[in-house]
Amino acid sequence: MKKTVLVTGANRGIGLATAELLGQHGYRVVLGVRALQAGEDIANRMCQKGFDVLALPIDLENKALLDQSLEELSRRNLPIDGLINNAGVLDEIPLLQLSQVQIDACIAAHLTGPLHLIQALAPSMIARGYGRIVNVSSNWGSFAEGMGGPGLYGVTKAALNALTVRLAKELPATVKVNAMCPGWVRTRMSNFQGTLSPEQAAENAFWLATLPEDGPTGGFFQNRRPLQW
């Protein structure tokens, strides 16, 4: 049976490249996007390539909208087998200068939003005996590498890493959850100055989203190699 993977932040960059890769390998893909019309345009283009794709409004700062989108998945009878929490925000603002709006947005994108999605989708994964959850994090959230990220970005990515470790202890082995560092990627977040293409970063997300039964869980990876927390 065809498996379905939800990718947040799928309208561009790593999320879009990952969605394309999943589609190429025969997965049904749900594009989680904030701007639905733009997402539907992307979905239509991908469907013209023969991919099985639909767009869904996913705004991690809007819990009510998030719940509505999850209800739409239920209405369509589309159980989610894989979740890639890719959406993110980056403000290079010192912690002492952050507004409440900026704080809330960063925490929602990197911690509470992914947790809400996991809370909603993991029970069905557990019941079906299969699930793959990928948290797109960063080595800027690594204590071992000195928490190098600017402002709240590295702090919330460290929280996402901690969430990954805790979830791996609570979820059964059939539902694998891992974090990944995509590296310095040529996306809008890096002002397109990165050394890697989105397609290269997508390879790691695809690997973790399609792990075999004996694959790892509760780990932090880059290019399929473990990283220190």
The answer to whether the CB of 105 falls within 8 A of the CB of 111 is no
27 tagged catalytic: no
DSSP run (H or E) holding 209 = helix 198-209
Q: 45-60 burial string, b = 16+ CB within 10 Å, else e?
A: ebeeeebbbbbbbbbb
Strand order in the sheet with 131-136: 52-57, 28-33, 4-8, 82-85, 131-136, 175-180, 220-222, 225-226
The answer to whether the CB of 177 falls within 8 A of the CB of 135 is yes
Q: For residue 120, count other CB atoms closer than 10 A to its CB.
A: 18
The answer to whether the CB of 124 falls within 8 A of the CB of 115 is no
On the 0-12 / 13-18 / 19+ scale of CB atoms within 10 A, 9 is: buried
Residue with the two structure tokens 């589609």: 23
SS3 4: strand
Amino acid at residue number 187: T
Structure tokens given for 221: 């990876």
How far is Cα of residue 45 from the mean position of the Cα atoms in its chain? 22
Active site residue: 27, 51, 140, 153, which one? 153
> Catalytic residue positions?
153
